[in-house]
Amino acid sequence: MSFVAPASLIDLAVAHLRGNGRDELEQLVLLGGYAGDERVLLVTLLLPETIATWGRVEIVRSEQPKIVDWLYEHRQLLYVEAHTHGSGIDAEELSCTDRKYPAGRTRGFIAIVVTHYAANGIDPRAFGMWEYEPPLWNRVPARVAVERFRIVADREIRDELLAD
């Protein structure tokens, strides 16, 4: 399955992720949308309240049912969690905590690890992409991540939604 996101949605995600990054703290965003036959249109950016400390970010428990209710009301599913790490040799890795407490656990759910606290934006050529195939998280090779996660002009998503 491939994922297509409008540029404006990604720009908003980056701005949110950078907020905590200025203090060298992690942050996360969630992306929801609609699945077609071969791809997912990511059309919703969810910014739940989080608690961030150095090396960890978690969604406040009271936010979790709100996320589920919102997705249900809008007939969307949660497909992607993007969260930040700092820099270093393992910055693109999914930590033990990340693996144990993801925002989603459905087959094909994607976790994206954005390095340098999103200072360089969300770039499929430079992030770590992980796919959940129960019971494992599998690293998606960078060359495949570029093909599977595309950022497009907003009008492309609009045109696609109107066509359906």
Torsions phi, psi of 53, nearest 5? -130, 175
Residue 4 has pLDDT above 70, yes or no: yes
- Of how many residues is the chain composed? 164
- The model's pLDDT over 17-70, given as tens digits with 9 standing for 90+, comes to 999 998 999 999 999 999 988 899 999 999 999 999 888 899 999 999 999 999
Residue 83 identity: H
For the chain, the domains span 2-148+155-163
Torsions phi, psi of 137, nearest 5? -100, 120
Q: What is the DSSP string of 29-86?
A: EEEEEEE-SSEEEEEEEE---EEEETTEEEE-TTHHHHHHHHHHHTT-EEEEEEEE--
- pLDDT at residue number 110: 97
Q: Label residue 160 by pLDDT band (50, 70, 90).
A: confident
- The model's pLDDT over 77-131, given as tens digits with 9 standing for 90+, comes to 999 999 999 998 899 999 888 888 889 989 999 999 999 999 999 999 999 999 9
* pTM of the complete model: 0.93
User: Which CATH superfamily does the domain covering 2-148+155-163 fall into?
Assistant: Cytidine Deaminase, domain 2 (3.40.140.10)
- pLDDT at residue number 121: 94
Eight-class DSSP state of 102: -
Q: How far apart are CA 74 and CA 38, in angstroms?
A: 21
**Cis amide leading into 65 (omega within 30):** no
Q: Label residue 164 by pLDDT band (50, 70, 90).
A: low
- pLDDT at residue number 163: 66
Query: How far lies 158's CA from each of 98, 152, 154, in Å?
Result: 33, 11, 6
